[in-house]
Amino acid sequence: MKNQETPLVAIIMGSDSDLKVMQESAKVMEEFGIPYEMDVISAHRTPQRAMEFSSSAHTRGIKVIIAAAGLAAHLAGTLAANTPLPVIGIPIAGGNMNGIDSLYSTVMMPPGIPVATVAINGAKNAGLLAIQILSLSDPSLQEKIIAYKKKMGDEVKAKSDKLRDIGYKAYLE
First to last CA, the chain: 47
Minimum CB separation of residue 71 from ligand RP5 in Å reads 4
Query: Is residue 18 near ligand RP5 by the rule CB under 6 A?
Result: yes
Q: Which is nearer to ligand RP5, 34 or 115 (CB)?
A: 115
3-state secondary structure of 87: strand
What gap in Å lies between CA 91 and CA 107, rounded to an integer? 8
Q: Nearest-CA neighbor of 8 among 166, 149, 144, 141?
A: 141
Which of 34, 71, 80, 88 touches ligand RP5 (CB under 6 A)? 71
Count of chain residues binding ligand RP5 (CB under 6 A): 11
Position 23 contacts ligand RP5 (CB under 6 A): no
Using CB under 6 A as the criterion, what x/- string covers residues 34-63 for binding ligand RP5?
--------x---------------------
Alpha-carbon gap, residue 92 to 122, rounded angstroms: 8
> How far is it, in rounded angstroms, from Cα 140 to Cα 118?
25
Q: How far is the CB of 75 from ligand RP5 (least distance, A)?
A: 7
Distances (CA, A) of 3 to 11, 21, 30, 85, 126: 15, 21, 10, 23, 21
Q: Is residue 160 a contact residue for ligand RP5 (CB under 6 A)?
A: no
Which of 92, 118, 129, 141 is in the footprint of ligand RP5 by CB under 6 A? 92
Does 17 bind ligand RP5 (CB under 6 A)? Our answer is yes
Residue 9: helix, strand or coil by DSSP?
strand
Binding-site ranges for ligand RP5 (CB under 6 A): 13-15, 17-18, 42, 69-71, 92, 94
